[in-house]
Amino acid sequence: MKNVTIDVKHITRVEGHGNISVNVENGEITKLQLAIVESPRYFESFLRGRDYREAPHITCRICGICSVGHTTSSVKAIEAACGIEVTEQTVSLRKLIFYGEQLQSHVLHLYFLAVPDYLGVGSVIPLASTHPDVVKRALRMKRLANDVCAVVGGRHIHPIAVHVGGFTHIPKEEELLDLKRRLEAARADLAETASLYAQLKLPGLHRDTEYVSLKVTDNGEYAFYDGDIVSTLDPKPTKVKDYRKRVIESVVEHSAAKHCVSPNAPTYAVGALARFNNNHEQLHPAARGVAKELGLTAPCDNPFHNNTAQLVECVHCVEASIELIDTLLTRGLTVEAIVPPTRFGTGAGASEVPRGVLFHEYSLDEAGKIENANLVIPTGQNLANIEADLRAMVPPLLDSDMSTQEMTLQLEMLVRAYDPCISCATHFLDVEWVS
């Protein structure tokens, strides 16, 4: 029987610091851990005593990649706590910057973090000389996504103009028109990305798990900005304010990121694949077309297909952004006053950020100062599920004739498929194989 030790310290090409440790003695797994060694951040405590208006501004600093995502869940939660209803224009602009970040994050993950594995290189850097077209295409799409965020929010990393109650800056018509032209041109880049992607051989892993995401029940939109909580095991919608019924957080010693369980399953997954599984019918037809072309059908339980779902979502975001720009331009942009609070209380808000559903909840005192905050981060929700996947993946790897090095790569690829954002989750990850 095999004895194997794998010990990956600081998994690369993920956001933040994590380790994988696997111990196999006589063919039995005696230890398997995805340790999150990133520094704990204490964001919930940063917020105590600060003004309610600062919440989005402080929490966007949890993560440079999903800065707009944190901003969005945060403004929505604070608005729920303050009885604020924002205008239609505000919602449209928020969706546009949200799609921009979704595209930015997915392109970064697909091209910079995941594709090097499939092409057998250590990073995107050697690709610059071997596959210059691929790298230039990736950078062109990333730049477009960035510019969408910058036009709406001032910049992508830590947007400026997005506030509780509205925007302090409105994009110019010409800026939106220019973005629209470039978004239309990006269709060709996405088609090329899909052809590249169709050539990659994704590993297969199948394990029963629950896929949790938001779902928009009233207007039929694919859930990013809004929705109720649903899952593959329990499709009955739960309101975001009751999120604790669906998400139970716990602290585990090997992880500075909290783990989450659901009432329906010992582990669950969030992210692009979960959204696809729950909401594929609401995707833009062009995005559904790419899913079909890449052989992605719901329900899909192969976590490696999270990358495929990300690509499908890129197509959706580009189409949805074009439509939003048309709506904004037809209606005409106007400078609007920030909507003030009508009360100070408790409120929760959620959005589907690139890595999955993100909950923020705040309670405010009578002066509008933050008394309590709770943030439930997608990677935290995925950690237990990734561990369970790793556990399921090890026995077939042991039965194969792979070297320890090849096995390690497979495990790292699985972790990277989830695109874990460890900075976020600590509010992290290394692979340690021990025999």
Residues in contact with another protein by the rule CB under 8 A = 10, 12-13, 15-17, 37, 39-46, 48, 50-51, 54, 57-58, 61-65, 67, 108, 112-113, 116, 122-125, 128, 135-136, 139-140, 142-143, 146, 153-158, 160-161, 163, 167-169, 251, 253, 256, 423, 427
Residue from 61, 207, 241, 244 in contact with ligand SF4 (CB under 6 A)? 61
| Alpha carbon distance 80, 361 (integer Å) | 9
Residue with the shortest CB distance to ligand SF4 = 61
**Does 31 help bind ligand SF4 (rule: CB under 6 A)?**
no
How many CA atoms are closer than 13 Å to the CA of 107, on its beta-carbon side? 28
Max CA distance (Å), the chain: 71
Question: Residue 412 CB, nearest distance to another protein (Å)?
Answer: 9
Name which of ligand SF4, another protein, none residue 276 binds, using a CB cut-off of 5 to 8 Å depending on partner kind.
none
Query: Which partner from the list ligand SF4, another protein, none does 65 bind, CB cut-off 5 to 8 Å by kind?
Result: another protein
Rounded Cα distance between 118 and 201, Å, is: 7
**Helix or strand or coil: residue 348?**
strand
The C-alpha atoms of residue 268 and residue 262 are separated, in whole angstroms, by 7
Which one of another protein, ligand SF4, none is in contact with 16 (Cβ closer than 5 to 8 A by kind)?
Answer: another protein
Give the number of other Cβ atoms within 10 Å of residue 40's Cβ: 12
Structure-block tokens of residue 182: 């470039």
**Residue number with CB closer to another protein (139 or 191):** 139
By CB under 6 A, residue 169 contacts ligand SF4:
no
- We find the least distance from the C-beta atom of residue 381 to another protein, in angstroms, to be 17
246 binds, among ligand SF4, another protein, none (CB under 5 to 8 A by kind): none
If DSSP codes are grouped into helix, strand and coil, which group holds residue 332? coil
Closer of 157 and 191 to ligand SF4 (Cβ) = 157
Here's the x/- map for ligand SF4, 129-158, by CB under 6 A: it reads as: ----------------------------x-
Instruction: Report whether 11 contacts 30 (CB < 8 A).
Output: no
Q: Using an 8 Å Cβ cutoff, are 272 and 304 in contact?
A: no
Name the residue nearer to ligand SF4 (CB basis): 61 or 187: 61
**299 prior amide bond cis, ω within 30:** yes
DSSP labels, 5-23? EEEESS-SSSBS-EEEEEE
**Residue 64, interface with ligand SF4 (CB under 6 A)?**
yes
Q: Closest separation between CB of residue 8 and another protein, Å? A: 11
The distance in angstroms from the start CA to the end CA of the chain is 12
- List the one residue out of 402, 423, 427 whose CA is nearest residue 413: 402
Return the H-helix or E-strand segment holding 432. Answer: strand 429-433
**Cβ distance to ligand SF4 smaller for residue 157 or 392:** 157
> 């890129």: which residue's tokens?
314
The interface partner of residue 25, options being another protein, ligand SF4, none and the CB cut-off 5 to 8 Å by kind, is none
Output the smallest distance, CB 123 to another protein, in A: 3
Residues near ligand SF4, by CB under 6 A: 61, 64, 157
